[in-house]
Amino acid sequence: MSHQRHASSLAWWALPPLLLQCIALNWSAPLTWPTWALVLCALFKLLECRRPFDRRLVALLQLLSTGLLAAQLQGLLASVLQLVAVLLALAGLLGHELAGALTFRGFLQRSLQLLAAALPLALVLFLFVPRLPPLWTTELGAARGAVSGLSPDLDPLSIAELTLVEGSAARVLLAEGQTLPMDAYWRVLVHEQFDGRRWQHRDPPVSRGGSGPPRVGEGTSQWWVVEPSATRAVPWDGSALTTSPDQWITPEGELLVGVASRQRRSFRLQSTQRVADWQQRPPVSSERQSPPDSLPRLKALARQFRPLPTGRERLEAVESWFRGQPFRYSLQPGAVADLDAFLFDQQEGFCGHYASALAALMRAADVPARVVSGYQGGHVVQPLSGNPYLELRQRDAHAWVELWLEGEGWQRVDPTLWATTTGLPAAAVVAESGQRQEENVPWWRWLQWQWWGLDLAWTSWWLSFDQASQQAWQQMLFGAQLRWLGVTAVVSGFVAVAGGWLVLHMGIRPRSSLVQSLRLLTRLGVVPLQGESFPRLCRRAARMHPDRATLLEAMADQQQLLAHAPLTPTQRRHHLRQWRKIRSRLGRRR
């Protein structure tokens, strides 16, 4: 039966988008397994469909799993896939319930109509329902995992591994009229504890505070999409303002957003030109702590610089010492025993080595110092649609030093650049730290950039309607009259439901008699056979339900008259009345 075949294939088609999304789920998240279970249940139930009820169950399972997926995956691709899955699941259900009544396209159209009918209510909920944090952002499992990217466990000396990773770290889109910074340093983590070998990051306390209430409406927006990473800290330019309560700038100048997760994080910041608080915060004791005695040569070198009066002069002296030494840049320097060995024997390494060594040296020379890891440079992508955006990749990972200079605050120093100028393979340094020109971009890369462009646009328009934006919007709409908010929400809810009802009933009337008769027959358990005409179907139904035989035959007669006979408007109305009478009598006698 061609129509039924179509109908069941519609339900099958809903599964690939669901499975695709399931594969993208975080395996350690608590919601992943229920989602998988639901999708697999739907799959097996579809394989073993015996009763009409089974089909309804399949559709229910598919819709439930789409809901679970929507809670976990919110990117553009995921949203599109969820929409497709819902569309097909609904169409499959309709195809079952109204088998034979509509064509394949008809079912899809009807399904789309149902979704369109639900849209107004969804919009009202989206605009008015408060974002309760536990509902709005699902906590998605353990933070630490095998995600690539900077993490609190990764010390700057391991950045070389990261630079070999071919993956995107973050993307930022600036508001209209902003130029993208070309050679910026994007801070992520501050490493201020030095144990003689490694610079370690100290996780900030969980409690919030410091950044004050979100300031909305000043400056221009930066839209960020950060790929899943193992740290709560995300890249930022060090001066932007937060826009929502779940963003928080630590005293060290790390920006924390939400929780670390495998979920992609999207957020909005406000650009400013002002000097950030963290830059003026005097160093704490841990940032002054002198390196341990296990580095005698480093300490001896540092002692030469101590007599210099200011931090700036000491820095210049250290820079000239660095430039005077034959330092070589290499991403594979081999095993480096400790900083003494790096500074005086091996003299070969990458940004992590240079930053660690400089920070230790400056501390030994009594200048407060710390290592900062993050990203540097990035790549400007101009998608075909929309504004250009900056893409930070894992291979843009970089480490540098921040020094507390009296009167100037915390200042960034990048010792890796000193190695560049000492006649070392410049290309290698540029490959790690500089921005690079992309030539011969592979087509999939190009496509990915286009897609990310759309994704960022989606993020900036849709996902970023967070609590702060919602409050701002409501403030703008109601001003001081916020007490009307609840009433407005309820009224809009009713209006939306009415709108949905209208949308739902828009297309039905013209094809009513046949479609509604078929629906009635389906309820009686009579499904059309291939090529069966309506009167024949009714006769067959009459044989199956002898108690309703007369009514069924009368319904066939009226429907055929309505469809094929030359009727005057009066006659048509008369037959329509007759048909409705028969339909309601048939429907009543269940």
Partner 1 sequence: MAAKELLPLLDAVSRVLLGKEHQVRLAFSCLLAGGHLLIEDRPGMGKSTLAEALARVFALAFKRVSFTSDLLPADITGLNVFNPAEASFRFQPGPLFTQVLLADEINRASPRTQSALLEAMAAGRVSVDGTSHALPKPFFVIATQNSLDQVGTSPLPEAQLDRFLMRLSLGFPDRASERALLQVGFDPSSDSFPRLGPEALQQLQHRCSSQHCSELLIDYILDLVEVSRQRQPGLSPRASQGLLAAARAWSLLDGRDHVVVDDVQAVVPAVVEHRLDAGCPARHASPHSEALLQAVPALR
Which residues lie near partner 1 (CB under 8 A)?
A: 2-3, 100-101, 103, 514, 518, 528, 530-537, 560, 563-566
CB of 581 to partner 1, least distance (A): 21
Q: What are phi and psi of 193, to 5 degrees?
A: -105, 125
CB of 59 to partner 1, least distance (A): 23
Residue among 421 and 530 whose Cβ is closer to partner 1? 530
CB of 586 to partner 1, least distance (A): 17
CB of 98 to partner 1, least distance (A): 11
Residues with Cβ within 8 Å of residue 345, at least 6 apart in sequence: none
- CA triple 73-129-240, angle to 5 deg: 65
CB of 552 to partner 1, least distance (A): 15
CB of 563 to partner 1, least distance (A): 6
- CA triple 277-283-285, angle to 5 deg: 140
Residue among 209 and 531 whose Cβ is closer to partner 1? 531
CB of 107 to partner 1, least distance (A): 13
Residue among 4 and 272 whose Cβ is closer to partner 1? 4
- Residue 577: Cβ within 10 Å count: 11
Residue among 57 and 576 whose Cβ is closer to partner 1? 576
Residue among 571 and 584 whose Cβ is closer to partner 1? 571
Instruction: Give which of 490, 238, 509 is closest to 372, Cα–Cα.
Output: 238
Residue among 231 and 558 whose Cβ is closer to partner 1? 558
Residue among 208 and 536 whose Cβ is closer to partner 1? 536
CB of 554 to partner 1, least distance (A): 15
- CA triple 34-38-41, angle to 5 deg: 135
SS3 395: helix
DSSP state of 209: -
Please check whether residue 97 is in contact with residue 519, taking contact to mean a CB–CB distance below 8 angstroms.
yes
User: Residue 129 and residue 402: Cα distance in Å, rounded?
Assistant: 44
Residue among 274 and 564 whose Cβ is closer to partner 1? 564
| Strand pairing report for 389-393 and 379-381 | antiparallel
User: Residue 246 and residue 208: Cα distance in Å, rounded?
Assistant: 9
Residue among 354 and 534 whose Cβ is closer to partner 1? 534
User: Residue 320 and residue 418: Cα distance in Å, rounded?
Assistant: 9
CB of 561 to partner 1, least distance (A): 8
Q: What are phi and psi of 212, to 5 degrees?
A: 70, -175
Report which secondary-structure segment, H or E, holds 379.
strand 379-381
User: Residue 195 and residue 291: Cα distance in Å, rounded?
Assistant: 7
SS (H, E, C) 510-528: HHHHHHHHHHHHHHCCCCC
Residue among 424 and 514 whose Cβ is closer to partner 1? 514
Q: What tokens appear for 104 in the block? A: 């394949």
Q: What are phi and psi of 371, to 5 degrees?
A: -100, 140
CB of 534 to partner 1, least distance (A): 5
